[in-house]
Amino acid sequence: MPASLLLSAPASRSATTQPGLVRLAPLQGETNLSYLDRLADRYRLGVKDLIPPLLQDGTELFRGFRTDGEVYLNAEARARVSAFCRVSESVLGRALPAWAAHEPLSPDGAGPAGRFRFGAVVPAAGEGCRLCTSARTGGAKPARLYLQPHTRVCPRHRRWMLGTQWVDGAPAGTEQIGLAGLPEVLSAHRSHLHLLRRRPDTARAFEVAHAVIVSWWAQQWPEEEEWPDRVRQMAPSGADAGWWRLLVRDAVVYPETVALARVLTGAHVRQRLLVETGGHLPHMLAHTPAFIAGLARVLRRPWLLDRIASASVGPLLVWVQHCVRAGAGSAAAGSLWELRTAHRPRSVARELTVYRGAAARREEAAGGGGQRLGLRHTSDQAFTAGLAHARAYAAVHGHLAVPIGTWFNGFALGRWLSDHRESAALPPEHVAALEALDLWWRPPWPVTWQRFYYQAQHHTRARGALRPEHGFPTTGFGLGQWLYQQCVGYESLHSAQRGLLAGIGLTCEAVRVARPGKHRAASFQRALGCARAFAEAHGTLVHATTGTVQDGHRLGQWLAGERSKDRAHQQRHGTHSPGALALLAIDPWWNPPWSLQWQRSWYQARACVQDGKVLNAAAGFPGTGSKVATWLTTQCARYDTLLPEQQDLLARIGITAAAALEATTRPTESGTDYATALGHARWYHAVHNTLAAATGTIHDGFHLGQWLRRQRQHARDNARRGAPSPAAAKALSALDPWWCPAWSLAWQRSWQRIHDQSETGARPGTGHHSRSLTPVQRAWLRRQHTRYHDLHPGQQRLLAGIGLTTRTTAGPGPVPPHAE
């Protein structure tokens, strides 16, 4: 039958599609566009000639057509293609990763529709092994497959799939290269497959390892000999060496990337790293000598140790720091494999574009053309200006431990340095320039510690030894106290901190004989006397706030500092600090293991008891005041979650476990208040279609957000104890079934806004690029698309109401809104 008869358009868009003459099976991992192209080729047509008439989608479908693109079809279009090629949709869905990835809308809102995408919004794809494709299809037409790192190698025919590299509006031309004479690549591929079967986090670890190896590859170290040799074996004779070095980059570094991924996924490696660092964040890789020595052995590059030891930036150091933060046994922590944007390697296509552009600029410069400046040039200019101020400050003070609010020569140097310390995208050359001024400008410990250290260093140079065995007699109170604290907590310090202290005479031997200064002991006794006087007047020390002053002494600030010291001492040694023992004699609850606000509220409730009031839990604690009654009701609702010491304190004022069960489930004292609160809730739901109100929500002077928060807490506590739902919970559930969700209220509010828009006609669907949605809403939908399988079943049911289901989230990934 002629092709023109096959493509004759039916009168109606809803007409049934007639089966074609050819049944064409898809290849596993093939792109939709490749499959449709092969289908059209069987009829001796181009894909742009077959699909628009088949879908009746006009001629706009393939606007801006490129071979590295992808076409997405909605349900009606997929049904037509399935019927025409005589292959069931289930078979096509299993073979084609992007078959049901998105649901594009037709111009009139109904009927078959497709959408063409290309560039960065489409996952990496390229021609599959031509020999394998020919054997499976029986023809010479190539097929394009989605390329994962482990699918780029064809071990049978020893080929590497480069993928389509689009450079300056045209493909680079070379899609595949041979691996003859490179057995290490094939061996690495077998190891990669084995690792994927054994380690569930291999794919993410490979991304981190690839970023690390590519950052080393870009250095072009003279000691590196294997990578240049591989490039020479892969490149044809007479080819541009610089071009081919970039084109085959991923193939060249593949063996080392797999080897590094195997190291990073090893649990024993992370455990040894934690032991080596002692739980402290390393400032540079030199602080993990055993780890980098092991890398040098695994990668068979003994010279690598000296090259990377001084690195204070880069993806490998960030991974080590993530590992330390995650702790032992937390290998599945999401942060472990987070790869910052600044550390992600540029794509090969981007590298080739830059290479060709650099060559063009060199020719332009040789011809007298002017140089074009861009954003990077402007950023470099801004950094150069800030660096000049930093250099001037370092010349005066000898360091860059600048307080954040410092202005120097009319420049906000403190803020500038703080922003650069927190920046994850700082170029290595900028880091090197700042380290040349101060090696510790960005320490892994607080900058305040570094400022005290520089103060002690200056004091040592000006006035000689510190003499810790005599209590640092030549120092002032603040510096002497800080130095003594370092001696007390010496074992818990970072190894680099101990090295810095050794430089000013505080070695392991010196800190053992350190003594507190006499002025410190006298000051402590004076503060202790003020604390004793305050406790006699108020009955406790927890009523002292930060601004409390007693007999001219800032008692509140002093107590806050002593609490911090006591907690640190307990964490290190398991016992109270010497100062805490003296304060415990004054007030046994001066530093409770729970919040100070809880302890203050308990004292307020005890004061009511001492005044002769009875705490009647069943009646809602009448006569105690709204705040105290609310607090007591909350403690009754949370009784089972309190610490034994808290339960004991409550028992002293008459709140036992039995009394807690009798407590009312609402903090208000009368039915009138309850009815008023419920009326405010009905009004809020009528306006916003949800009760997911923020805690700070106030309506007509009523704190609705706080009231709803208390009701949620009561409902959850009752559910945990197996108690029946209170009347308030039943009334609120009748208004909004999701008033007390198992997830955050912010999530519920975001869903409600999008749901309301979909009810008015907007359909966010799965493409997440509806023009009726704001950029924030589109970003929220993309996050739900990515995390769909980790969501609560209730969240998944809600998302189904706005068109986001298991079927729509399958595929290579969502299309960002800027892909329009």
Instruction: Name the band, by pLDDT with cuts 50, 70 and 90, for residue 313.
Output: confident
**pLDDT, greater one: 3 or 256:** 256
| pTM attached to this predicted model | 0.59
Categorize the per-residue pLDDT at 387 as very low, low, confident or very high, splitting at 50, 70 and 90: very high
Highest mean pLDDT among 145-154, 464-473, 583-592: 145-154
The 10s digit of each residue's pLDDT in 449-479 is 899 899 999 989 988 888 888 888 888 766 8
* Element housing 161 (H / E): strand 159-161
The pLDDT of residue 248 is 92
pLDDT band at 391 (very low <50, low <70, confident <90, very high): very high
pLDDT score at 772? 64
On whether the CB atoms of residues 274 and 324 are closer than 8 A, the answer is yes
The residues, ordered by sequence, that sit 6+ positions from 133 with a Cβ below 8 Å of its Cβ are 27, 127, 141, 142, 143
Radius of gyration of the chain (CA): 34
Say what the pLDDT of residue 574 is.
65
Q: Is the pLDDT of residue 371 over 60?
A: no
Q: What is the pLDDT of residue 392?
A: 93
Phi and psi based region of residue 102 (left: phi greater than 0; alpha: psi -120 to 50; beta: remaining): beta
Percent of the chain surpassing pLDDT 90: 25
Residues of the chain with pLDDT > 70, as a percent, come to: 86
CA distance 338 to 205: 9
CB 415 within 8 A of CB 404: yes
For range 290-319, the mean pLDDT? 91
Rounded to an integer, what distance in angstroms lies between the CA atom of residue 254 and that of residue 195? 14
Report pLDDT for 8: 45
DSSP state of 408: B
pLDDT for residue 762: 53
Burial class of 33 by CB neighbour count within 10 A (0 to 12, 13 to 18, 19+): buried
Q: Per-residue pLDDT for 722 more than 80?
A: no
Q: What is the pLDDT of residues 739-794, one digit of tens each?
A: 888 888 888 888 888 888 776 655 554 444 455 678 888 888 888 887 877 788 88
Residue linked to tokens 């170029």 = 427
> What is the pLDDT at residue 767?
45
Band of the pLDDT at 182, cuts 50, 70, 90?
Answer: very high
What average pLDDT does this structure show over 2-15? Answer: 44
- Name the least confident of 255-264, 457-466, 794-803, 805-814: 805-814
Model pLDDT, residue 810: 53
Please check the confidence at residue 154 and state whether its pLDDT lies above 50: yes
- pLDDT at position 806 is 63
Does residue 118 carry a pLDDT above 90? Answer: no
**What is the pLDDT averaged over residues 53-65?**
71
Strand-strand pairing, 166-167 and 125-127: unpaired
Among 306-310, 407-411, 427-431, the range scoring the smallest mean pLDDT is 427-431
pLDDT beyond 70 at 548: yes
- Mean pLDDT across 709-728: 76
Banded pLDDT at 328 (limits 50, 70, 90): very low
User: Dihedral (C-alpha) 150, 155, 158, 161: value to the nearest 10 degrees?
Assistant: -30
Q: What is the pLDDT of residue 761?
A: 55
pLDDT of residue 9: 41
Which H or E run contains 675?
Answer: helix 671-688
| Cα 14 from Cα 76, distance rounded (Å) | 9
What's the pLDDT score for residue 689?
A: 86
Question: Residue 369: is its pLDDT beyond 50?
Answer: no
Average pLDDT of the segment spanning 185-189: 95
pLDDT at residue 446 in the model: 85
- Please give the full DSSP string across 87-151, using - where no structure is assigned: --HHHHHHH-TTTTS--PPPTTSSS--EEEE-GGGS--EEEPPHHHHHHHHSSS---EEE--GGG
Q: How confident is the model at residue 25 (pLDDT cuts 50, 70, 90)?
A: very high
Mean pLDDT value across the chain: 82
Closest by Cα among 189, 160, 184, 155 to 262: 189
Q: What's the mean pLDDT in 683-700? A: 83
Specify the amino acid at residue 179: L
pLDDT at 664: 44
- What does the pLDDT average to over 617-623? 74
